A and B are shown apart, each in its own frame.
Chain A
Amino acid sequence: MRAGSILTRTIIEVEGLYHHYGDIAAVDGISFSVEEGEIFSFLGPNGAGKSTAINVLITLLQIQQGTATVAGYDVGKDPQQVRNSIGIVFQDVTLDRDMTCGEILEFHGRLYRMPSVERKQRIDELLSLVELDAKRDVRTKHLSGGMKRRLEIARGLMTRPKVLFLDEPTIGLDPQTRMRMWDYIKAVNDEGATIFLTTHYMDEADHLSDRISIIDHGRIITTGTPYGLKNTLGEDLIYLETADLPGTLVTLSAMGEVKELREKSRGIVAMLTGDGTKILPQIIENLADKGIRVSAVNLKKPSMDDVFLHFTGRELRDEGAEKPSTAVARAGRR
């Protein structure tokens, strides 16, 4: 089922997708494909163009340029078939406050013209899957944030979609609830649904995805497995603080085990080609030979944060992208 297997089929295929709002290109020519059964993520800051891309794929936005097929259907030519093949969990909560959990699912099933017997059966199944059986007759305004999100996942699954789109599924949830949400998403994927998710949380992309595309300013910067992406940075990262940073740079760049160096405000990050625990003593020794004393040191495995920093040259923050893309952020999200 996972990506890389010979048996996989492509379920989402996007070629040269471009989408603009006025003069601003929210999606600036992206191409990618998603294999059946995988969890595929778009990772990027708010305003990177993730939501715009997803809105084109789910047929809420008319495709402007490029081609996109979902579940074998062209989103421009055959939107109706695309709609019948997918489930969606939108970025913000989209539940009628005054309808009960059961009614929310009932309404959705009717919208998709599910036969009444199948509808009832599916509602029972899904409410127990997301552990909301007891809330069936409770209006959604009385649910917690996590419950609302779970109900929305259940709704997205109502019609047994081939692909489930999740736009920032855990935004605004507390850490514990997020973890539980991840478990549900994994469980849904294990049942066979392909999952396309967008997120600006590194840990979420890292934890859930089979493959990740890092997206920034409407472009895909790189695509790979979480492991592969982290590995492009080398095996281990070492952070060093010394009194003589220029001297340290010269010394380290002369070492074959050091793959890449990055200067921070008070220290240096070195990406290593091998096992950091073995290389670190060597580094300290080499520096000592040059008379440079190490005042602080930290050894760690690369995280998705480091990956993002490496590929985009900037840090991914929770809220608001960097200055160059704020205009896109405003146009792109809504």
Chain B
Amino acid sequence: MNTGFLTIYWRDMLRFFRFKTLLISSLVQPALWMAFFGIAMSANFNRLTSEIPPIPGVPSVDYLTYMAAGVIAMTTLFTSLFGGIVLLFDKNWGLMREIFASPLPRNHIIFGIALSGMTKTFIQAVIIMVFAIFLGAAFFAGFTTAETLLSLAGILLFVGVFSLGFLFLSAAISISLESPEGLQGIITLLTMPIFFASNALYPITAFPPVLQAISAVNPLTHLVSGIRYFTIGDNFQAIGIHYTATSMDIALSFLLLVLFAVLMFTLAMWRFSKATVT
């Protein structure tokens, strides 16, 4: 087997751990989201929803626990969308010439970058979970040890596949563009609808139909559903809404993420085959 992608992976991880500022800020940033936005919003939501009578017989979770899954998803989204930017820098600084002139197949560049991006999102996801539990999120409540471990694996699986999709997309955009500013602009344009037309921070049940339709095909929604299923369970209520999920629903969400990743990989391959670096 050609393991050329590991070379690209090795270099990107080397850089990740070398830039201490980048490393630390990428780990602290999601924690800050939890600490400030999470605590502030959960105080509000808990007050607003205190009037709503709880649905009897359904376990209830507070807003912090509810939105922590959203923060994991959001962080994964941002990290993945920016994950390909190194390709753009490499292209602009001439470093990509060395790689393109080497015998390394181009799909290995995509695989390598995606794998290192995925590793970063794993590290971040774990840190956020630990921090969320520290802040009081009721993750894995009532789970046995085996269930908790299985859930952890499930979360990483969802986060992994989701991040691959957006890393492929990011690689495709990066290799096609000339300037980092352009990438910034495109990413901002993408993150707004993806993030806000999803169930990351609030329920989508009250959305107007168009927004609901968007959120139903939004990969982020499916990632969040998956994470909630694994961190909270298949039957709970939060901010006055009853959430249920069957394992079938979750499998479907997962398949959707896989499909998205495959599509994005095809896009990236096409962009890479067209790319000329001189």
A-B pair count, CB < 8 Å, reads 66
Is residue A8 within 8 Å, beta carbon to beta carbon, of the partner chain? no
Distance between Cα atoms of A107 and B276 in the complex (Å): 22
Question: Which residues of chain A are within 8 angstroms of B93 by Cβ–Cβ distance?
Answer: 94
Q: Are B10 and A110 in contact (CB under 8 A)?
A: yes
Can you name the residue of chain B whose Cβ is closest to the Cβ of A52? B278
Q: Do residues B14 and A112 form an inter-chain contact, with CB atoms below 8 A?
A: no
Identify the closest chain A residue to B90 (Cβ): A96
- Assuming A60-B276, A61-B278, A96-B95, is B101 touching A83 (CB within 8 A)? yes
Q: How far is the CA of A51 from the CA of B97 in the complex (A)?
A: 13
- A113 and B103 contacting across the interface, CB-CB below 8 Å: yes
Q: What residue of chain B has the Cβ atom nearest to residue A113's Cβ?
A: B4
Given the complex, which residues of B lie within 8 Å of A113, measured CB to CB? 2, 4, 103
Q: B18 — which chain A residues lie within 8 A by C-beta?
A: 98
Q: Is A282 an interface residue (CB 8 A)?
A: no
Contact across chains for B94 and A90 when beta carbons are under 8 A apart: yes
- A290 contacts which chain B residues (CB < 8 A)? none
Q: Identify which of residues 168-213 in chain B touch chain A, using a CB-to-CB cut-off of 8 Å.
A: none
Report the contact-size class of chain A (Cβ under 8 Å from the partner): 20 to 34
Whether A83 pairs with B102 at a CB distance below 8 angstroms is: yes
Number of chain B residues close to chain A: CB under 8 A: 24
A88 at the interface (CB under 8 A from B): yes
A11-46 contacts to B (CB < 8 Å): none
Near A by CB (< 8 A), chain B positions 1-60 give 2, 4, 6-7, 10-11, 14-15, 18-19
Q: Name the one of B2, B19, B97, B104 contacting A60, with C-beta atoms under 8 angstroms.
A: B97
**Partner of A80 from B10, B14, B103 at Cβ < 8 Å:** B103
Chain A residues within an 8 Å CB radius of B278: 51, 55, 60-61, 334
CB of A60 within 8 A of CB of B4, answer: no
Q: State whether A84 and B98 are in contact (beta carbons under 8 Å apart), knowing that A60-B276, A98-B19, A110-B7 are contacts in the complex.
A: no
Tell me whether B11 and A94 are in contact (CB under 8 A): no
> Which residue of chain B has its CB nearest to the CB of A95?
B95
Knowing A61-B278, A99-B11, A111-B7 are in contact, say whether A94-B98 is a contact too (CB < 8 A): yes
Instruction: Please tell me if B126 contacts chain A, counting CB pairs below 8 Å.
Output: no
Q: In whole angstroms, what is the CA distance A92 to B95 when docked?
A: 10
- Contact residues in A for B100 (Cβ distance below 8 Å): 60
Q: In the complex the two chains form, is A103's CB within 8 Å of B98's CB?
A: no
What is the interface of chain A mostly: helix, strand, loop, or mixed? Answer: loop
Q: B93 CB to closest chain A CB, in angstroms?
A: 7
Q: How far, in whole Å, are A107 and B7 apart by their CA atoms in the complex? A: 7
Closest B residue to A103 by CB, please name it: B14
Chain A residue contacts of B4, Cβ below 8 A: 110-111, 113
Name which residue of chain B comes closest to A56, CB basis. Answer: B278
Residue pair A107, B11 in contact (C-beta under 8 Å)? yes
Give A90 to B278 CA distance when docked, in angstroms: 9
The A-contacting residues of B in range 239-278, CB under 8 angstroms, are: 276-278
List the A residue with the shortest CB-CB distance to B94.
A94
Residues of A within 8 A of B10 (CB): 107, 110
Q: A93-B94, A96-B95 are in contact. Are A60 and B101 (CB under 8 A)?
A: yes
Give the distance to chain A from B217, nearest Cβ to Cβ, in Å. 38
A window 99-129: CB within 8 A of B: 99, 103, 107-108, 110-113
B99 at the interface (CB under 8 A from A): yes
The residue of chain B having its C-beta at the shortest distance from the C-beta of A62 within the complex is B276
Q: Which of A96, A98, A99, A112 sits near B102, CB closer than 8 Å?
A: A112
Q: Does A111 lie within 8 Å of B14, measured CB to CB?
A: no
Q: Which residues does chain A contribute within 8 Å of B99, judged by CB atoms?
A: 111
A241 → chain B closest CB, angstroms: 47
Q: Enumerate chain A residues within 8 angstroms of B101, measured Cβ to Cβ.
A: 58-60, 83, 88
Please, which residues of chain B bring their CB within 8 A of the CB of A60? 97, 100-101, 276-278
Contact A99 B98 (CB under 8 A): no
Within the complex, the shortest CB–CB distance from B257 to chain A, in Å, comes to: 31
Enumerate chain B residues within 8 angstroms of A107, measured Cβ to Cβ: 7, 10-11
Residues from chain A with Cβ under 8 Å of B19 in the complex: 98
> What chain B residues lie within 8 Å of A84 (beta carbons)?
103
For chain A, residues 243 to 298, give those with C-beta under 8 angstroms from any C-beta of chain B.
none
What's the Cα separation between A103 and B14 when bound, in Å? 10
The smallest C-beta distance from A94 to any residue of chain B, in angstroms, reads 4
Whether the pair A98, B94 counts as a contact (CB closer than 8 A) is: no
A88–B98 Cα distance when bound, in Å, is 8
Chain B nearest Cβ from A317, distance in angstroms: 24
Instruction: Indicate whether A90 sits within 8 Å of B97 (C-beta atoms), given known contacts A107-B7, A113-B103.
Output: yes
Closest-CB distance, A160 to chain B (whole angstroms): 14
State the CA gap A112–B278 with chains docked (Å): 19
Chain B residues whose CB sits within 8 angstroms of the CB of A51 once the complex forms: 278
Complex interface: chain B residues within 8 A of A95 (CB)? 95
Q: Give the distance in Å from the alpha carbon of A241 to the alpha carbon of B53 in the complex.
A: 108
- Docked CA distance A55–B101 (Å): 9
Determine whether the beta carbon of B94 is less than 8 Å from that of A112: no
Q: What's the nearest-Cβ distance from chain B to residue A259, in Å? A: 42
Q: Which residues of A approach B to under 8 Å, CB–CB?
A: 51, 55, 58-62, 80, 83-84, 88, 90, 92-96, 98-99, 103, 107-108, 110-113, 155, 334
Sample of 18 more A-B contacts, CB < 8 Å, known A94-B93, A94-B95: A60-B277, A92-B94, A95-B95, A96-B15, A96-B95, A98-B15, A98-B19, A99-B14, A103-B11, A103-B14, A107-B10, A107-B11, A110-B7, A110-B10, A111-B4, A111-B7, A113-B2, A334-B278
9 intermolecular pairs with C-beta atoms under 8 Å apart: A58-B101, A60-B278, A98-B15, A99-B15, A103-B11, A110-B7, A111-B104, A113-B103, A334-B278
Q: Which 7 A-B pairs have the closest CB atoms?
A: A110-B7, A94-B94, A111-B102, A83-B103, A55-B278, A60-B278, A111-B104
